A and B are shown apart, each in its own frame.
Chain A
Amino acid sequence: MSIPDDVLVAGASVGGLTVAEALRRKGYTGRIRIVGEEPHLPYDRPPLSKEVLTGTWPVDRIYLRGQDRLAELGVDWVLGVRAERLDPHARTVKTDDGRVLPYGALVIATGLVPRRLPGQPNLAGVHTLRSLDDTLNLKRELQDAHRVVVVGAGVLGCEIAAAARTLGKAVTLVDPESTPMARQLGVELGRHVAAMHEAHGVRLHTGTTVTRLLGTDGRISAIALPGNQIVEADVVVLAAGSIPATRWLDGSGLDLDDGVGCDASLRAAPDVYAVGDVARWPAPWTDTALRLETRTNATEQALVVADNILGADRLYRPIPYFWSDQYDTKIQVHGVITPHARTRVVEGDPREGRFLALAEDGGVVTAAIGWNNPRGVRTARRLLGHETNLITTTD
């Protein structure tokens, strides 16, 4: 296998940036071009639903690298331009400004698009949050809003609800599961998330779904829940999941059944790789291929892909990690909380707002969960069972 003369990256967020940095660190001197739909240089998304939304950080703190470090990288940035079509036989990507960019190796890092509610009217005051511009729009509208409804109580929805409460808004959080973050933490720990939000004055509607968005003069005025329940709203934020941004790959011949299907080395086709939220790969701990929508997944996949572009054949075998900051609480998870796992608190006390819990499945520890316990949960990583194939990435 030969090393490509040039690398094209579609997506200018942390996954794409890290591929470029890792390639340079390994001495790659070929051309690197990064195409990004947003006009901004690479910035970090986790602070958007926290410090940026509450206004506790100046916006320029979220940029991932300073101008000088980006200049040292020697990357051609093609920003404000969308990749529109991939031709894997001609080895080109067409962009929406009419350019046809050839590549020796292509990295797909186009991330996600927030899901909208199907069949609902287009109303002012209904937001999604994925980009910096989304966040600044929402922040601006929150200034004059009193009642905020957040649809979806995953990590993003819970963080938006916490931010809006911190800003003094009346907040309602709606989710079809029986507790917030049930999909991420399981119901047992989800109950603690529910209690935290209720203690901060959030009204929870769990086990239910929004049936309609109601508007007045083209602007949101309320949401409807089953049984003719109406919750009035000045602003609604839809945080009910996202869809992999792969429409531009239609017709390319790639496997696009929920993201870009890859092999265990993150290859989607010869000289085509995927990283980050958009990449689906055969995870070692399960029989099905899956995607991870986490910050560290993007970085760790990028490191593997950079090595593989340079001729290695590294497998991606991570210990997954995610965190969420809500109010003064930091929730951190190392490992995988499998569907049948039971969680139990092994240290500390949920009533005191600090504990360590373990998820166990078939007698094996599959995840360590920290609640305001960052050092404790990090050191608990050593308890994760090798039987689950949760072995370290430094293979």
Chain B
Amino acid sequence: MKVIVDQVKCVGGGQCVIAAEEVFEQRDEDGIVVLLDPTPPPELHDAVREAVMLCPAAAIWVEDRA
């Protein structure tokens, strides 16, 4: 799994951090998403997919590779 974030669309809600804090963090000054782990291990994939759906700006998506 490869995680991609769009910092222009991000609205700094932090829903991604709540869903998967191992993968996402927020910048202190404006709350914009920081990607900690662009290729998270399988045990975090469900949490990342949850973050994709919870993001209130549709600013996260994943690419699956076989």
Contacts and interface: CB of A to CB of B under 8 A. Distances in A.
A374 B30 contact: yes
A378 B53 contact: no
Contact of B15 (A21, A296, A330): A296
B57 A299 contact: no
Contacts of A210: none
Interface in B1-56: 8-9, 11-15, 17-18, 26-28, 30-31, 49, 53-54, 56
A378 B58 contact: no
Contacts of B56: 46, 295-296, 299, 321, 323
Interface stretch (A61-69, A83-91, A180-188, A278-286): A61-69
A115 interface: no
A354 to B, nearest CB: 10
A44 B8 CA distance: 14
B11 A69 contact: no
Interface string A13-49: 0100010011001000000000000000000101000
Contact of B53 (A21, A69, A330, A375): A21
B61 A375 contact: no
A277 interface: no
B26 A374 contact: yes
B18 A378 contact: yes
A330 B12 CA distance: 9
A378 B54 contact: no
A69 to B, nearest CB: 7
A389 B37 CA distance: 33
Interface string A255-295: 00000000000000000000000000000000000000001
A321 B13 contact: yes
Interface size class of B (residues with CB under 8 A): 20 to 34
Given A25-B49, A330-B31, A374 B54 contact: no
Interface size class of A (residues with CB under 8 A): 20 to 34
B31 A375 contact: yes
A381 to B, nearest CB: 8
Contact of B26 (A18, A21, A65, A378): A378
A345 to B, nearest CB: 19
Nearest to A295: B56
Contact of A296 (B13, B17, B27): B13
Nearest to A66: B61
A22 B53 contact: yes
A332 interface: yes
A332 B13 contact: yes
Given A303-B53, A330-B12, A375 B28 contact: yes
A376 to B, nearest CB: 9
B34 to A, nearest CB: 11
A46 B57 contact: yes
Interface in A43-101: 44, 46, 61, 64-65, 69
16 contacts: A18-B53, A21-B53, A44-B57, A44-B58, A46-B56, A61-B9, A321-B56, A323-B12, A323-B56, A330-B12, A374-B14, A374-B31, A375-B26, A375-B27, A378-B18, A378-B26
Which 9 A-B pairs rank lowest in CB-CB distance, beginning with the nearest?
A: A374-B31, A378-B14, A374-B12, A295-B56, A64-B58, A375-B26, A296-B56, A375-B28, A44-B58
Interface of A: 14, 18, 21-22, 25, 44, 46, 61, 64-65, 69, 295-296, 299-300, 303, 321, 323, 325, 330, 332, 374-375, 377-378, 381
Interface of B: 8-9, 11-15, 17-18, 26-28, 30-31, 49, 53-54, 56-58, 61
Given A64-B58, A296-B13, 9 more contacts: A14-B58, A44-B58, A61-B8, A295-B56, A299-B54, A323-B12, A330-B11, A330-B30, A332-B12
